[in-house]
Amino acid sequence: MERNNTLRVMELFAGVGGFRVGLEKANPSFFEVVWANQWEPSRKAQDAFECYARNFTDGEHVNEDIAEIPDEVFQQVAPQLVVGGFPCQDYSVARSLSGEKGIQGKKGVLFWQIERVINRTHPKYVLLENVDRLLKSPSKQRGRDFAVMLATFNNLGYTVEWRVINAAEYGFSQRRRRVFIFAYKNGIAFEEEQLNHDLKDIVFKEGFFAKPFPVLEEPYKNREDYEQIEVDRVEISDNFSFGFHNAGIMRNGKIYTSHVQPVEVKPKPLSKILLDDIEVDEKFYLTKAMEEKFEYLRGAKKIERTSATGHKYFFSEGGMSPTDNLDKPGRTMLTSEGSVNRSTHIVEVNGRKRFLTPIECERLNGFPDNWTAGMTDRMRYFCMGNALVVGLIEIMGRRIEEIDALNTSSSEEEEIQLGLSF
């Protein structure tokens, strides 16, 4: 039996294509992105989609509200891997008006569209990315939203691993912390191989994340817990509260979660992604007035304020360095990058202070130079603030290719055995 040398990929909430860039860096001949969707409902201009379509020519690119796309479209695409980043939203659910066990999720929650895609197509693998606060939301019922997601995958017949990864701790140039969620279909060869390991060993040594992103052998301060997930997501929504740690696995409804510590790789410093002075446009340098404004914004302060009810209180903020240290990786880039904002990176080169340029922001996330060229600088910053570190996806892509080879080997063995049986 010849190996199927490609994996059909569907990219949801694609943005400017970070998942695809990473997967194609891993192996462009193996990962075939056949369908991608990007839609920004609150904007007339679809800058991210136009960027995606400009940089990728293969596959179908769809600029429509995913909720309006019929099930039949997903079924025709027949993805083997579904990837995407999606907003952290309120995952509260409720019984239908008739009291049936079917649920009605809050309208607009994009994870329900991911559920719909998986339920209609049954891909072998699902790889998602989100902000790490997903594990703790909502604040009044910690862990409920993530538990609803895990129950959803469990009910669909998937095992799930997750890991919060700080890109700088594995050698990259940005201290960007995100939770990655990898689900794989029960019954495939990788799942059967993982059944040989207990849940803790999977998280620390044998799992999807543990192999390419190694961690120390024991949990941080013995922080580890087990839990059983409910099948009924309404019950979870009403009553569930649990402290998920930064790594874990859910298999057949049983959860193991632990606070893991990375085996760190020396990060790439900010200085390595900077353009030469001669390439930096004068518009990115700070005026004297802007320098003074940033000194105030980044300085320590204690300000008396009055609440809407008339209550007086003090707002306090600690100080931070006037400029970002070029010998360290960059801080987490936000969508407000490039604005007069405390979180904006300010670098000092040859005695002059300036913003990072859009190209430098692309480099912080591992995109090729000028990936977002063609839109305004403000939108280029915004898109990079929303993007992921593509080098992490490249590593995960290589891991997916590795575990998919297990399925190929298993299929070949079955075919040989069937041939001998005649």
- Residues marked active site are found at 88
Closest CA to 18 of 174, 161, 137: 174
Q: Where are the alpha helices (DSSP H) in 280-372?
A: 288-298, 358-365
Q: Are 240 and 144 in contact (CB under 8 A)?
A: yes
Beta strands in 100-157 (DSSP E): 103-105, 125-131
The CA distances from residue 141 to 152, 244, 295, in Å, are 18, 12, 38
CA angle (121, 17, 245) in 5-degree steps: 70
DSSP bridge partners of 285:
354
Rg (CA), the chain: 23
For residues 187 and 193, give the distance between their C-alpha atoms in angstroms, rounded to a whole number.
10
- Order of strands, sheet of 177-185, starting from the edge strand that comes earlier in the sequence: 60-62, 31-37, 7-12, 81-85, 125-131, 177-185, 158-166, 247-251, 254-258, 224-228
List the alpha helices (DSSP H) in 175-266.
Answer: 189-194, 199-201, 233-239
Q: How far is the C-alpha of 92 from the C-alpha of 233, rounded, in Å?
A: 9
Given a contact cutoff of 8 angstroms between Cβ atoms, the answer to whether 300 and 318 are in contact is yes
Closest residue by Cα to residue 128 from 142, 107, 144, 110: 110
- HSE (side-chain half, CA atoms, 13 Å) at 199: 21
The answer for residues whose C-beta is within 8 angstroms of residue 261's C-beta and 6 or more apart is 215, 216, 220
Within 90-132, strands assigned E span: 93-95, 103-105, 125-131
